[in-house]
Chain A
Amino acid sequence: MINMAEREVSINVPVEVPTEVKSLFLPIPKNLVEEAYKSDEYLVLIGPAHPGSGHMRIILRLKGDYIVEAIPDPGYVHRAVEKLAETRLFVHNIPLVERPTIAESSIMDHGYVRAIEELGQLDVPPRAQYLRVIMDELSRIGDHLYDTGILAVFLGHSTGYMWGFGLREFITDALARMTGARITVSFVIPSGVRWDVHPDALRYIYNMTFFIEKKIDELGTIFTKNPVTVSRMKDVGVLTKDQCIKLGAVGPFLRACGVEYDTRKARPYAVYNQLEWEVPVADECDSYSRFLVRVEEIRQSLNIIRQAVKNIPEGPVIGNKLMARVPPKERERVAKDIRNYLFRLLIGLTLPEGEATTLTEAARGTLLYSLVSDGKSNVPYRLRMITPSWYNLRPFMESLRGYRLMDLPAIYGSWGYFPPEADR
């Protein structure tokens, strides 16, 4: 028998912050590192290069292989959209604000343009509203498929990636038929859309929705309900409903915690209140339910697109207030296609003094724009843009706590965290 009490010795180990913390430019306070080393924990750096899309670093404090604390290091894709917006005309900012999330560029434009319309009190004709809704929902499906692909890469499931991006080809094809661009559409402009869409393109989209719905079912057997996927993601990264609200989760990730909140229902814009659809909600609040809610949203979006294509009214796509400045003999053509007049009509756009805040439901959650105009300049005085991934970063870090290091890919993928969007 060994007397344990006698064998316990204390050695005075000098705890020093390793030089790597400085040479790798780790943005964590020195005392946090010291504290970690003293309490028998160690630091692990995940990233910046990791299987996900875009880059961020997560600094983990581990005890054994359990995560004690996760410290984010964002900003690898910070491109200063808010500052650049102050040097450009109101219309010039449309291509700028969509760059953070080009996979859903139409939704990003829609939110910004609505802020301009609210301040300038511009009218939007119903046909343009329907076209905007169709494009928004196409982008939403595309973005959820994108996240499915990235989640599959995280889980080491290449087949899921191939299916997600294979199906996305149809979305980009539909956008190209409508707008001419595969991804960065810049199609939404103040008081309407750029041009009227050909009926053939709308028919293509209508038929495509049925194909995607069939393929989503097949994807279910291959990836969504795959036993490996389920066992990797079920009961992992759990938060409570209270935590989710307090830490400010948004969008499908909030709805996966049982909060029935969708900006399209709470503060309806465009024609969402004229269409019939449901808000998918789950109660488990684990990684798997965060994924399932988004799969269910794809079905709802397909439903919205079908209704919108069926009910779309005929008419102009540019509002009356803007059309009043077009010469009368050109009005009939310009009401269907603003090319050659976009520059003349919108370059001198000056908005009245004040502030407009718009909430838009992007694919990953609430997207907020606050546009401040001083009433004299033709550029924004200040544009505040908060993207869903930036909201979700805080609850994402909290959901890592208490789980194992090997669960990190599943949790990361389930939050659909997209660094270019978060850093702006």
Chain B
Amino acid sequence: MGNTTVNTLKITLKTIGMDIKLLPDSLASWGTKFSIWPAHLVTACCGVEFAHTSAPGYDAERWGFLPIFGPRQTNAIVIEGTVTRKMAKVVKTAYEQMPYPKFVIAMGSCAMEGGVFWNSYHVVRVNEVIPVDAWVMGCPPTPEAVIKAIRMVQNKIEGKEVKPNIRPNPVDLSKVLKPDKPQRPPNPPHRIEFELIKDINVCKPAASVKWELGQKLIDGVKESLKDGVKNAAVRGVNDLCIMLSNQNHLKDAVLSAFKLGFDHVKSINVIDLINSGVFRMEYVLGSYSSKELQPVLLTIYFDVPRDEAKVPSIIDVYPGADYQERELHDLFGVWFDGNPWMGNNFILDPDTPVKYPLRKEYRIPSLKGVVVER
């Protein structure tokens, strides 16, 4: 029989000097067919449906399909969704650790061509990393589709044609659904006018909001900072914003907010205003310990020049901000003075060619047109 996998195994054994008598081919492939044990390699979110495949609802163990930890004891990999640049190395290592014969099922549209993440800077295609035996469509594919792929691999082991042997009944769709008139998208559909944007007014006072506590809090911060405050406003109920004149006042502003009762950081953010040559830093503070302040969000803004973006770190006041500072250092190249991790990559790979991807000058491909919804 023309079973390539068993032949590969024989050749591999011969090259390392082992000339043992194997089982009859038909028996070996029959055994392999019902012992597909995939390594547990959840690369992304398709793992949710993959887990359902082995759960009571679908129970893929009926076809001898049982996930096992550790690639050295397995003979299959199910790539569950997106493979990122960082993960690709791990996938390759895991594949090389597995004994022959081995099979790969690529699951989901991200594994095929990127899916929703087709233009991401951190996503690779699976067939560029390892050879794939069966593909599963969907985002995420249903457990039935995964089982279909298992049957395809079983066909391959038997030396048959690699195609699903479960087929849906053919339905004439032209009679069931009556498509609407085709709609014409506006041309061009994407109006990306970032080149024209000089400044975005993020700290606008609300027109008619009367909120005494907010006004009191704003006065409290203003008093302790004096000339450091450029602009302060109540943006709405439970929403305050303060614009500092430069980064040197951040430490004082954060300390006075801490004394007022804001005990944790909700978000650190960078808005890249490329045409003004500044990064607008944004710190959102919140409170857990004071019942009165629990709903309030205090947002602190200030501008730093893009070419030497150096900002004091606030981890001595708010240790919870640590990983967000590291993340923004990776993605924007902002240097947080005082954070010991600066200079190393945290989320991105240490050897990645991608540098500061969230800056506006780092371009990724964008859709040329819009797919028309029926």
Which chain A residues have a beta carbon within 8 Å of chain B's beta carbons?
25-29, 48-55, 72, 74-80, 82-84, 87-89, 95-96, 99-103, 146, 149, 161-162, 165-166, 168-169, 172, 182-184, 245-248, 254, 259, 261, 266-267, 340, 342-344, 347-348, 350, 353-355, 357, 359, 366, 368, 370, 372, 374-379, 381-382, 384, 386, 390-391, 393-395, 420, 423
B18 within 8 A of A: no
- Contact for A165 among B39, B51, B196, B318, CB less than 8 A: B51
Shortest Cβ distance from B121 into A: residue: A80
Q: Cβ of B201 and Cβ of A354 under 8 Å apart?
A: yes
Of the candidates B89, B194, B294, which one forms a contact with A381 in the assembled complex, judged by CB atoms under 8 Å apart?
A: B194
**A246 B264 Cβ-Cβ under 8 A:** yes
Interface residues of B, Cβ cutoff 8 Å to A: 39-45, 47-49, 51-52, 55-57, 69-71, 82, 84, 86-87, 89-90, 94, 116-117, 119-123, 139-140, 142, 180, 183, 185-186, 189-194, 196-197, 200-202, 204, 238-239, 263-267, 269, 271-272, 282, 284, 288-289, 294-295, 297, 299, 318-324, 327, 331, 341, 344-351, 357-358, 362, 364-367, 370, 372-374
Once the chains bind, are B323 and A394 in contact (CB under 8 Å)?
Answer: yes
Q: Which residues of B contact A75 (CB under 8 A)?
A: 84, 86, 346-349
The answer to whether A347 and B323 have CB atoms under 8 Å apart is no
A-B contact pairs, 22 of them (CB 8 A): A25-B89, A26-B350, A48-B90, A49-B70, A53-B48, A55-B41, A75-B86, A82-B331, A88-B367, A96-B116, A99-B45, A103-B48, A165-B57, A246-B263, A246-B264, A261-B294, A347-B370, A353-B200, A354-B200, A374-B193, A381-B271, A384-B269
Cα A381 to Cα B338 with chains together (Å): 30
Give Cα A370–Cα B357 distance, bound, in whole angstroms: 19
| A245-B197 in contact given A76-B84, A76-B90, A382-B272 (Cβ < 8 Å) | no
Q: With A and B bound together, what is the CA distance between A424 and B87 in angstroms? A: 14
Taking A80-B117, A99-B116, A357-B297 as contacts, is the C-beta distance between A166 and B55 under 8 angstroms?
yes
Given A101-B45, A183-B48: A247 in contact with B319 (beta carbons within 8 A): yes
- From A101, A161, A353, A423, give the contact of B347 (CB < 8 A): A423
Asked whether B189 lies within 8 Å of A146 as measured between CB atoms, the reply is no
Asked whether, in the complex, the Cβ of A49 is within 8 Å of the Cβ of B39, the reply is: yes
Report Cα–Cα, A99/B89, bound state, in Å: 23
Contact A390 to B42, CB < 8 A, known contacts A25-B89, A48-B90: no
Do the beta carbons of A184 and B139 come within 8 Å of each other? yes
Complex: A375 Cα to B365 Cα, angstroms: 23
**A182/B142 contact (C-beta < 8 A), A87-B367, A166-B55, A347-B186 known:** yes
Residue of B at shortest CB range from A395? Answer: B320
**Residue picked from B197, B204, B320, B366, most chain A C-beta under 10 Å:** B320
Give CA–CA (A348, B370) in the complex, Å: 12
Contact B43 A55 (CB under 8 A): yes
Q: A245-B288, A394-B320 are in contact. Are A354 and B90 (CB under 8 A)?
A: no
Q: Find out whether the CB atom of B140 lies under 8 angstroms from the CB atom of A183.
A: yes
Residue of B nearest to A368 (CB): B267
Given contacts A51-B40, A347-B370, contact A27 B320 (CB under 8 A): no
**Separation of A53 and B94 alpha carbons in the complex (Å):** 17
Q: Which residues of A contact B238 (CB under 8 A)?
A: 267
Find B364's partner among A83, A342, A376 (CB 8 Å cutoff).
A83
With CB as the reference atom, state the residue of chain B lying closest to A164: B55
CB neighbours (8 Å) of B48 from chain A are 53, 102-103, 146, 183
